[in-house]
Amino acid sequence: MQATQTPTLAYAATSPAAALAPYALERRAPGQLDVAMDILYCGVCHSDLHTARNEWGGTIYPVVPGHEIVGRVTAVGSLVTKFKVGDTVGVGCMVDSCQHCKPCTDGLEQYCDKGFTGTYNGPEQGSGANTYGGYSSSIVVRESFVLRVSHGAAELAAVAPLLCAGITTYSPLMQWKVGPGHKVGIVGLGGLGHMGVKIAAAMGAHVVLFTTSADKRADALRMGASEVVISKNADEMAAHAGSFDFILNTVAAPHDLDAFLVLLKLDGTMTLVGAPASPHPSPGVFNLIMKRRRLAGSLIGGIKETQEMLDFCAAHGIVSDIEVIRMAEINTAYERMLKSDVKYRFVIDMATLKAGA
Ligand code: NAP
Ligand code: ZN
């Protein structure tokens, strides 16, 4: 018998200027290697906003954002071995990749030579069809892009942001071997930044949080930062000149990178994960060459590493600090995110979409 598609409630933007609004779509019938799930919670990433408003270009409308998904399995294909109906699972920023190229076989699907399939804004491998993300009641995802969630039932809403904010900070911290004895800076205390503080602290680093928001100081210290620097204060910044092993910059807007590069010591690295719509002013070359400093970038993380990150966070009792919202509050949440007024991640309770609340 031919399995049928599942009608799914969602929220979509239909143009860069349009508010997100209810939208009906169909999920594919699960194939042999697919996992179907009801979405319980979906985090709200700044990338959702960049994409909904076409700030990076290339948005295909209607767009259903959302790539920090925690769900419960409702059906599995006949060849699925890792999951069964009723399991609590996660889906992050990717739902597929070519699976054959060197990055894919090395577990670095985010750098797939053919381009990975985003959880939203596609394109699907082969068909090229658009994909629709987690601001929806259900989703169907290839088994190899589904993650196991081992946190307790009461923490599931706060686990959702780990699927993007968690892995995007964990991956570069691992890549640059952050650990005890390292002085590590995290720039920006938003969704990504607050996960960066918690994870770097759990890795044993001495963590310094750089913020433009003086009122976030106490929260940063509670999350594991040893020091907080108000980045607008030149004297506070100068006190840290030439002292950092590694800085992770999560800021979502263009800003002066030199102010942070001069804080790195010999061979220190600053990795950019924030992805502003327009470029940063070019950094001064002398700040790089004088101490052989490095400026790097990093994109989310592979599936194997995402599972590692979820297990690391479960073992260390790490979840996101969240504000749970109703689906209908998403447009207000976007406006607050633009004002850096997020403590520290909005998470949509998807039951409110089904209930039409
Ligand atoms: P967010 O919650 O809005 O946090 C961004 C933080 O940056 C703000 O809370 C604020 O922190 C700081 N900030 C904002 N505007 C600033 C400005 N003009 N100058 C200095 N600091 C400013 O955003 P997010 O969800 O963490 O995402 C951050 C960025 O990472 C976005 O561009 C997003 O698209 C990108 N991203 C990249 C990846 C990747 O794979 N590389 C993955 C996910 C997201 P303070 O108040 O503490 O200053
Ligand atoms: Zn994201």
Question: φ, ψ for residue 194 (rounded to 5)?
Answer: -70, -30
Which atom of ligand 1 approaches the CA of 44 most closely? 25
- Ligand 1 mutation target, pool 195, 340, 344, 346, most atoms within 8 A of CB: 340
Could you name the CATH architecture of 6-164+321-354?
Answer: Alpha-Beta Complex (3.90)
- Please report the pLDDT score of residue 22 as a whole number: 97
- Please report the pLDDT score of residue 44 as a whole number: 98
Which atom of ligand 1 approaches the CA of 49 most closely? 34
State the average pLDDT for the chain.
97
- Please report the pLDDT score of residue 354 as a whole number: 79
- Ligand 1 mutation target, pool 94, 164, 192, 280, most atoms within 8 A of CB: 192
Task: List the chain domain ranges.
Answer: 6-164+321-354, 165-297
Query: Which of 135-144, 297-306, 314-323, 346-355 shows the lowest mean pLDDT across its residues?
Result: 346-355
Q: Whose CA is nearest to atom 9 of ligand 1?
A: 190
Report the percent of the chain where pLDDT is more than 90: 96
The alpha carbon of 112 is separated from its chain's Cα centroid by a whole number of angstroms, namely 18
Instruction: State pLDDT tens for residues 199-225.
Output: 999 999 999 999 999 999 999 999 999
Q: Is 270 helix (H, G, I), strand (E, B) or coil?
A: strand
- Please report the pLDDT score of residue 242 as a whole number: 98
Q: Which CATH number fits domain 165-297: 3.40.50.720, 3.40.190.290, 3.30.310.50, 3.30.300.30?
A: 3.40.50.720
Mean pLDDT in residue range 343-349: 97
Instruction: State pLDDT tens for residues 280-334.
Output: 999 999 999 999 999 999 999 999 999 999 999 999 999 999 999 999 999 999 9
Q: What angle do CA 169, 152, 355 make, to 5 degrees?
A: 95
Which residues fall within 8 angstroms of residue 139, CB to CB, at 6 or more apart? 8, 27, 36, 37, 39, 69, 71, 91, 119, 132, 133
Name all residues whose Cβ lies below 6 A of ligand 1.
45-47, 50, 164, 168, 188-193, 211-213, 216, 250-253, 255, 273-276, 298-300, 337, 340, 342
- Please report the pLDDT score of residue 196 as a whole number: 98
350 CA from centroid of ligand 2 (Å):
18
Whether 273 and 252 have beta carbons less than 8 Å apart is answered as: no
pLDDT at 356 over 80: no
Instruction: State pLDDT tens for residues 241-279.
Output: 999 999 999 999 999 999 999 999 999 999 999 999 999
Instruction: State pLDDT tens for residues 100-134.
Output: 999 999 999 999 999 999 999 999 998 999 999 99
231 CA from centroid of ligand 2 (Å):
24
Which atom of ligand 1 approaches the CA of 255 most closely? 19
Cα–Cα dist 6/72, whole Å: 15
Ligand showing the shortest atom-to-Cα distance for residue 121: 2
